[in-house]
Copies of this chain bind each other. A is one copy, B any other.
Amino acid sequence: MPSPLKERRTSGAARDGVSEFTTERLSIYLRCLAQLEAAGVTTISSAKLAERFHLNSAQIRKDLACLGELGIRGVGYRVADLRSHLAQALGVDRTRKIIIFGAGNLGIALADHRGFNIDGFEVVGLFDDDDAKHGRSTRNGIPIQPVDRLEAVIASERVEIGIIAVPAPAAQEVCDLLVDAGIAAILNFAPVQLRQREGVAVTSVDLRINLESLSFALTSVRKD
């Protein structure tokens, strides 16, 4: 029986002791620190960080302890230092290149997504097996290319991340294609469980979880 969590764990590539739930929080801390730095704050304690951003201070200390001794007793964290340390730990201190497979509505939306094209990420290719789409470009100018260009683009651009934006029945085949072409990390938007491949990090995005969370909130609103 496949596990719905196995993929979320980026198996075969997750660092010991740091789960994906933690890296999600590290991402959130990184955003908080960027805001603090922009506001001119130079040092902050875990308690203040927790208070300001509605986080849990014990959790912050525990999460950051995974990265080594970053806090200074009586001072807290140096905002700029911690931010650069977190960016380095998350691997967003340099630009990682992305290709997207599937130039349907979702693939095109993701190719032009701002968060996928700033601060450490860049979409360098959009691929589709539909000949009719080749030669067209997204609004931001990313051309839709045929599948036979995939390997060359991945090699020449040193692409590390592949995004799967095809319908569920095609997702496994596309995943295998990407891995065989040299991709080391996959972000899967197809609502299907992908087989694990040794040394390849796979994360599946389940957009429905957000809806269920809202549904839960509505249940509580109704009862008030």
Question: Which residues in A have some Cβ–Cβ distance to B below 8 Å?
Answer: 1-6, 9-10, 13-15, 18, 20-21, 23-24, 26-28, 30-32, 35-36, 39, 52-55, 89-92, 96, 98, 104-106, 108-110, 112-116, 120-121, 160-161, 168, 184-187, 191, 199, 201, 203, 205-221
Contacts and interface: CB of A to CB of B under 8 A. Distances in A.
Contact of A210 (B3, B4, B187, B210): B187
B220 A14 contact: yes
A212 B106 contact: no
A25 B188 CA distance: 19
B185 A201 contact: no
A53 B4 contact: yes
B1 A207 contact: no
Count of chain copies: 2
B207 A203 contact: no
Given A109-B104, A201-B221, A207-B113, A215 B4 contact: no
Q: Pick the 5 closest A-B CB pairs, nearest first.
A: A91-B219, A201-B217, A115-B208, A106-B109, A105-B109
A208 B24 contact: no
A23 B217 CA distance: 9
A23 B213 contact: yes
A215 B18 CA distance: 13
Contact of A6 (B31, B54, B205): B54
Given A106-B106, A211-B121, A221 B184 contact: yes
A59 to B, nearest CB: 10
Nearest to A219: B91
22 contacts: A1-B36, A5-B55, A10-B217, A13-B218, A13-B221, A14-B217, A15-B220, A18-B216, A23-B213, A23-B217, A24-B213, A28-B209, A90-B212, A91-B212, A91-B216, A120-B212, A121-B211, A161-B211, A161-B218, A184-B218, A186-B214, A203-B213
